[in-house]
């Protein structure tokens, strides 16, 4: 079986991993060992965060375990079609409150989701480096996730994540098979502006 080739090219000489990482949907469903999973979590652990608050939390389950089926049940039907073949499904949440050193009371953390996003990105990059893949899923029932996984109100439910071993697109339903290829990006000029926000 051949896995989708990656035709991405960078406009500037970044490390290969930034163009190599992508979000496939075709997974083998094979087990990821706890040792290998911990390598992915370890990468997330070293993400930067506001005040080093490390507000991210990952609730996860291995395929075949109750926690996996519970998270799969939260994911919308369109995403379930491929996410069911992941090795691990996870929900990423982040703590909305932060109590800094010397602070009497916790205050609203402005950057909790930004910090969790950094942790997600580190995990995804490491997954790719390790021969696995991580695919973020926004299409799931956030309220049900809070309720079912007992997530306290002070945490934001950020995103679901499927982790799996990439395989040939032939395992996917036809409509997804056609889309199973790395996509492109806007040019730098579309998002980076020296000075002021550009007039539209
Ligand atoms: C927060 C977030 C939510 C996403 N939600 C979904 C989703 O519900 N279903 C899906 O198939 N892909 C989802 N994706 C994957 C994006 O479509 C994908 O990251 C984007 O097209 C860029 O492609 P790449 O990750 O392969 O580089 C999500 C990605 C992020 C970061």
Q: Contact 75/83 with Cβ under 8 angstroms?
A: yes
> Residue written as tokens 């020296």?
194
Q: Which residues line ligand 1 (CB under 6 A)?
A: 22-23, 79, 136-139, 159, 182-183
Let me know if residue 58 belongs to a domain. Answer: yes
Q: Is residue 152 part of a domain?
A: yes
Q: Is 61 in contact with 41 (CB distance < 8 Å)?
A: no
Its pTM stands at 0.96
Range of the domain at 75: 29-169
Q: At what angle do helices 34-45 and 112-129 cross, to 10 degrees?
A: 140
Cα 24 to ligand 1 centre (Å)? 9
Contact 143, 156 (CB under 8 A): no
Within-domain flag for 15: no
**CA–CA dist 173, 22 (Å, integer):** 19
Return the CATH number at 121.
3.40.109.10
pLDDT tens string, the chain, 200 residues long: the values are: 457 678 899 999 999 999 999 999 999 999 999 999 999 999 999 999 999 999 999 999 999 999 999 999 999 999 999 999 999 999 999 999 998 889 899 999 999 999 999 999 999 999 999 999 999 999 999 999 999 999 999 999 999 999 999 999 999 999 999 999 999 999 999 999 999 999 98
Q: Can you tell me the distance from the alpha carbon of 22 to that of 125, in angstroms, rounded to the nearest whole number? A: 9
| Count of domains for the chain | 1
Distance 89 CA to ligand 1 centre (A): 15
Q: Confirm whether 141 is domain-assigned.
A: yes
Whether 1 is in a domain gets the answer no
Question: Residue 177 falls within a domain, yes or no?
Answer: no
Residues, the chain: 200
Residue 59 tokens, joined: 């609730």
- Position 60 in a domain: yes
Q: How far is the CA of 169 from the centre of ligand 1 (A)?
A: 17
In a domain, 87, yes or no: yes
For the chain, first and last CA: distance in Å?
47
């Amino acid at each position: 079986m051949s896995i989708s080739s990656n035709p991405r090219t960078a406009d500037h000489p970044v490390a290969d991993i930034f163009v190599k990482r992508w979000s496939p949907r075709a997974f083998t469903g094979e087990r990821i060992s706890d040792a290998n999973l911990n390598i992915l979590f370890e990468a997330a652990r070293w993400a930067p965060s506001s005040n080093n608050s490390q507000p991210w939390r990952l609730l996860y389950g291995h395929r075949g375990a109750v926690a996996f089926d519970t998270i799969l049940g939260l994911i919308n039907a369109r995403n379930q079609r491929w996410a069911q073949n992941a090795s691990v499904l996870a929900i990423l949440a982040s703590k909305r409150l932060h109590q800094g050193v010397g602070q009497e009371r916790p205050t609203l953390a402005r950057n909790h989701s930004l910090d969790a996003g950094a942790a997600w990105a580190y995990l995804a990059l490491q997954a790719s480096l390790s021969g696995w893949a991580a695919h973020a899923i926004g299409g799931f029932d956030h309220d049900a996730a809070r309720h079912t996984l007992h997530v306290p109100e002070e945490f934001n439910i950020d995103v679901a994540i499927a982790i799996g071993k990439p395989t040939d697109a032939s395992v996917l339903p036809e409509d997804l098979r056609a889309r199973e290829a790395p996509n492109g990006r806007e040019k730098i000029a579309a998002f980076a502006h020296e000075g002021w926000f550009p007039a539209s």
